[in-house]
């Protein structure tokens, strides 16, 4: 089984250090939740793992399938089996959901085997319908331009559909619950749970415990000041819901006079 191993990761933005030594290992078959107040570096971690050029890695390594992924381009990380669901997915006018997915799938297949001719269309169509049925999505969704005119909930469902079709080994969900009402949240959570299994490791990045009522994590981590300062089981998220983050700040932030 593959695992994503983050070792002493330091990240700066425009000369300011945001991540100050993150250590975290996510294995296939595990669901990890990363929680913390605004500005602690949670989204910075997500984007840095996928190679966003705005974030400068100043120290550390990230190992996956025997490779330090920090040495790979963003598309190579995706083809290797790492997936990022964005907090604010962008629209791609003129590109249908189906065409976007088929192009992405074929790019990954060719990365694994340069002789691969791509997924035949009948096979792709069958697979896509099966995945949409699994996620309880209307098949007409596949013909719409990606995220153009989509509601917030539809954009998040489109991200989960991408995850279902691409079948990554590691998925990072960056505040997937952001801006969703309770019905949309449950739909997205049901989609994640439908894909849950021994071949998929998930990092759920969130401020709130509410999504964890539906997507039950195996491990919960708290980030503060660019570091993971607390780790535990699902009970840690419940404690944060009840007590907030003040106790974490009091425990780990230095007292200044």
pLDDT in tens, 5-21: 999 999 999 999 999 99
Contact 118, 110 (CB under 8 A): yes
Q: Is the pLDDT of residue 80 over 70?
A: yes
Query: In sequence order, which residues have a C-beta less than 8 Å from that of residue 236 and are 6 or more positions away?
Result: 220, 222, 230
pLDDT in tens, 94-129: 999 999 999 999 998 998 888 999 999 999 999 999
Its pTM stands at 0.91
What lies within 8 Å, CB to CB, of 104 at 6+ separation is 78, 162, 165, 166
Number of domains forming the structure of the chain? 1
Query: Is pLDDT of 2 > 90?
Result: no
31 belongs to a structural domain = yes
Name the pairing type of β-strands 170-174 and 201-205.
parallel
Residue 71, pLDDT score: 95
- The per-residue pLDDT for 257 is 46
- Is residue 11 situated within a structural domain? yes
Q: Is the pLDDT of residue 93 over 70?
A: yes
Range of the domain at 179: 3-92+168-252
Domain at 36, CATH number: 3.40.50.300
Instruction: Report d(CA 1, CA 64) in Å as an integer.
Output: 11
In a domain? residue 143: no
pLDDT digits (tens, 9 = 90+) for 154-180: 888 899 999 999 999 999 999 888 778
Contact between 26 and 201 under an 8 Å Cβ cutoff? The reply is yes
Per-residue 3-state assignment (H helix, E strand, C coil) for the chain: CCEEEEEEEEEEECCEEEEEEEEEEEECCCEEEEECCCCCCHHHHHHHHHCCCCCEEEEEEEEECCEEHHHCCHHHHHHHCEEEECCCCCCEEEEEHHHHHHHHHHHHHHHHCCCCCCCCHHHHHHHHHHHHHHCCCCHHHHHCEECCCCCHHHHHHHHHHHHHHHCCCEEEEECCCCCCCHHHHHHHHHHHHHHCCCCCEEEEECCCCHHHHCCCCCEEEEEECCEEEEEECHHHHHHHHHHCCHHHHHHHCCCCC
């Amino acid at each position: 089984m593959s695992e994503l191993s983050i070792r002493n990761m330091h990240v700066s933005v425009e000369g300011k250090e945001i991540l100050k030594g993150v250590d975290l290992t996510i294995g296939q078959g595990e669901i990890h939740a990363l929680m913390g107040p605004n500005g602690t570096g949670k989204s910075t971690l997500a984007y840095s793992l996928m190679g966003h050029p705005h974030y400068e890695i100043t120290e550390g390594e990230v190992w996956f399938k025997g490779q330090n992924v920090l040495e790979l381009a963003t598309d190579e990380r995706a083809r290797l089996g790492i997936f990022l669901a964005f907090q604010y997915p962008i629209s791609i006018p003129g590109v249908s959901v189906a065409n976007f997915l088929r192009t992405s799938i074929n790019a990954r297949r060719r990365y694994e085997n340069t002789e691969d001719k791509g997924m035949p269309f009948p096979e792709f169509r069958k697979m896509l319908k099966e995945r949409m049925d699994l996620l309880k999505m209307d098949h007409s969704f596949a013909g719409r331009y990606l995220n153009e005119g989509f509601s917030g909930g539809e954009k998040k469902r489109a991200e989960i559909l991408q995850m279902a079709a691409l079948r990554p080994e590691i998925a990072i969900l960056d505040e997937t619950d952001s801006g969703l009402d309770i019905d949309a949240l449950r739909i997205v959570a049901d989609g994640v749970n439908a894909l849950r299994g021994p071949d998929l490791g998930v990092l759920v990045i969130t401020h709130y415990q509410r999504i964890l009522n539906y997507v039950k994590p195996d491990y919960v981590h708290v980030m503060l000041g660019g570091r993971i300062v607390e780790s535990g089981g699902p009970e840690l998220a419940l404690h944060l819901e009840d007590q907030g983050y003040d106790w974490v700040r009091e425990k780990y932030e230095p007292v200044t006079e």
